[in-house]
């Protein structure tokens, strides 16, 4: 069946981004491929990054690990949400290892898989997932075979935030206190905070996919995903007429308008109403009126040749799209919907 919406994915750009992050990590560099590779496709992402040299992959839960299938040679997969009571069978049958986050999870893993490798998350101030430093000091981890001891930065995208150094110091104080083979703290933005944040392994996600979470990464990562929609109808709108739900846009002069088959059900959020932009070659085609569930109107006055059936590109510049829509770059990527045919080039 013809899939009219297309998400063009640039494998070379994805690999370039990982290589840049690897070079600037100065140590091993992994990849967060949770949420189906931030919406672009976890399996093709894992394969492309494995080819580039990546060996450490992270997903959120065991269903994601299962959907990935086999783990490539020499690589490992870790499950960030750890092992809950309902995950026991899945975890025991999986090549992935859990990231243990709580006393309950540590005790569960010791009971069901003694001696089997795991990772451990320590909370250093974010108060999201992880054991406390006291749990670690109390010998809770004795007997575990820990591959990676990790923590997660709350404010890495704000380089001047005092919490960064506090978290780094709290994490560095755990070095040598466990049997962990490696330490890992930095996400994408954390890599740009400097060498003392990089430890033995970094875990970027967003920047792999073309996101720019912090000024230190500006100009360094390339866009990976470009949505393309198809024109369903081209029409002339007379001066003074309105376009779309609630008639929020009125033509100031006679205008040429195209209706394309993309909407908020595809992750093209309502925040792009009157603010987003598409392109036909180099011509800029502003979004006009409200984004609907399955339809968006664009002003094609600058593109006289655009006709029914033609494809237009939507902006792939994530920081700009985030500013325009009021959504985060993470939301824009992970919201990319199931109606897109994902086409790797
Ligand atoms: C999602 C995630 C990452 C990747 O973060 P980005 O900001 O996308 O680079 C790293 N570590 C953990 C624990 C995560 O949950």
Report the nearest atom of ligand 1 relative to the CA of 330. Answer: 8
Report the nearest atom of ligand 1 relative to the CA of 213. Answer: 7
Residues 6+ positions from 317 with CB-CB distance below 8 Å: 223
First to last CA, the chain: 20
Q: How far is the CA of 33 from the centre of ligand 1 (A)?
A: 9
Find out whether the beta carbon of 188 lies less than 6 Å from any atom of ligand 1: yes
Report the nearest atom of ligand 1 relative to the CA of 157. Answer: 7
Find out whether the beta carbon of 99 lies less than 6 Å from any atom of ligand 1: no
Q: How far is the CA of 34 from the centre of ligand 1 (A)?
A: 9
Rounded CA-CA distance 271/6 in Å is 21
Q: Kindly state the helix (H) or strand (E) to which residue 22 belongs, with its residue range.
A: helix 11-25
Find out whether the beta carbon of 81 lies less than 6 Å from any atom of ligand 1: no
Find out whether the beta carbon of 37 lies less than 6 Å from any atom of ligand 1: no
Residue to substitute in 187, 190, 214, 318 for testing ligand 1 pocket (most ligand atoms within 8 angstroms of CB): 187
Provide Rg for the chain, Cα atoms: 23
The single-letter DSSP state of residue 131 is: B
Question: Which residues have a catalytic role annotated?
Answer: 34, 245
Q: Token pair for residue 65?
A: 């690990």
Find out whether the beta carbon of 80 lies less than 6 Å from any atom of ligand 1: yes
Rounded CA-CA distance 235/306 in Å is 11
For each of the chain's 345 residues, which pLDDT tens digit applies?
889 999 999 999 999 999 999 999 999 999 999 999 999 999 999 999 999 999 999 999 999 999 999 999 999 999 999 999 999 999 999 999 999 999 999 999 999 999 999 999 999 999 999 999 999 999 999 999 999 999 999 999 999 999 999 999 999 999 999 999 999 999 999 999 999 999 999 999 999 999 999 999 999 999 999 999 999 999 999 999 999 999 999 999 999 999 999 999 999 999 999 999 999 999 999 999 999 999 999 999 999 999 999 999 999 999 999 999 999 999 999 999 999 999 999
The single-letter DSSP state of residue 276 is: -
Total-model pTM: 0.97
**Considering only CA atoms, which residue is closest to atom 2 of ligand 1?**
32
Q: What is the DSSP string of 210-265?
A: T---SGGGTTTS---EEEEEEEEEEEEE-TT-EESGGG-EE-SS-EEEEEES--GG
Residues 6+ positions from 127 with CB-CB distance below 8 Å: none
Q: What sections of 144-197 are H helices per DSSP?
A: 162-172, 188-191
């Amino acid at each position: 069946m013809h899939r009219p919406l297309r998400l063009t994915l640039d494998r070379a750009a994805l690999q370039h981004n990982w290589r840049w992050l690897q070079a600037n990590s100065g140590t091993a560099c992994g990849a967060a491929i949770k949420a189906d590779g931030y919406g672009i496709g976890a399996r093709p992402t894992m394969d492309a990054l494995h080819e580039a040299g990546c060996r450490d992959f992270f997903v959120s839960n065991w269903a994601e690990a299962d959907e990935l299938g086999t783990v490539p040679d020499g690589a490992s997969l870790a499950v960030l949400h750890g092992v809950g009571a309902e995950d026991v069978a899945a975890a025991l049958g999986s090549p992935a290892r859990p990231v243990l986050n709580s006393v309950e999870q540590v005790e569960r893993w010791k009971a069901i898989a003694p001696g089997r490798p795991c990772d451990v998350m320590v909370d250093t101030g974010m108060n999201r997932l992880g054991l406390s430093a006291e749990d670690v000091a109390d010998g809770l981890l004795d007997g575990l075979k820990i591959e990676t001891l990790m923590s997660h930065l709350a404010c890495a995208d704000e380089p001047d935030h005092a919490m960064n150094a506090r978290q780094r110091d709290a994490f560095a104080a755990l070095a040598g206190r466990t049997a962990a083979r490696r330490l890992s703290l930095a996400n994408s933005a954390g890599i740009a905070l400097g060498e003392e944040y990089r430890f033995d392994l970094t875990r970027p996600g967003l920047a792999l996919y073309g996101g720019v979470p912090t000024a230190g990464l500006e100009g360094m990562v390339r866009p990976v995903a470009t949505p393309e929609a198809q024109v369903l109808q081209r029409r002339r709108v007379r001066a003074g007429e309105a376009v779309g739900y609630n008639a929020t846009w009125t033509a100031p002069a006679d205008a040429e308008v195209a209706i394309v088959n993309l909407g908020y059900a595809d992750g093209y959020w309502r925040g792009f109403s009157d603010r987003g932009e598409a392109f036909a070659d180099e011509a800029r085609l502003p979004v006009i009126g409200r984004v609907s569930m399955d339809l968006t109107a664009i002003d094609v006055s600058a593109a006289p040749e655009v006709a029914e059936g033609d494809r237009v590109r939507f902006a792939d510049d994530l920081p700009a799209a985030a500013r325009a829509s009021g959504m985060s770059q993470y939301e824009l990527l992970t919201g990319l919907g199931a109606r897109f045919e994902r086409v790797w080039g």
